[in-house]
Every structure is written in structure tokens, then in C-alpha cells.
Amino acid sequence: RIISFDVPFMISQEGTDLMITIDYKKLIEPESGDPLPIVISPINHDPNNVEIFHSITSNFGNAMTLTLQ
């Protein structure tokens, strides 16, 4: 997946730190609003249950913010 940020910045000799912040609540809450059952099932390696993986990867764009420091 490609995620882009609309944040203008300039590269200079002094340097600029780019901080990517991930809001884990947004990451694990699917669009339906029901959070993933992490307490009940903290590990999922079941290839037949890929819905969880798709939900997390779909949420990455909305869960991340980019700030300049």
C-alpha cells in the first residue's frame, strides 16, 4: 500500500526530523466501529482468518500522522 502525506517540507543542511505517529486505537478499529478482539485473541496466525489482517492494513493510512520537528 502507498500512503502519502500532504505536508510540505524543505530539506536543508540543518536537517528536519519527520515524526510518524500511529494511533493504535484507529489502527485496530475497523470501519464498522467494533474494535478487534485483542484481549480474547491477542495472536492470529490463522491463514483462514485474514479479515483481521485486511482491517489493520486498511486502517494504516487513517491511523498515521506526519509532523515535522
Asked if 66 contacts 8 with a C-beta cutoff of 8 angstroms, the reply is no
Q: Taking Cα atoms as reference points, which of 46, 28, 30, 47 lies closest to residue 38?
A: 28
Asked if 3 contacts 64 with a C-beta cutoff of 8 angstroms, the reply is yes
pTM: 0.65
Q: Report the percentage of the chain scoring pLDDT > 70.
A: 94
For residue 40 the three cell numbers come to 480474547
Mean pLDDT, the chain, whole residue set: 80
Q: Per-residue pLDDT for 21 more than 90? A: yes
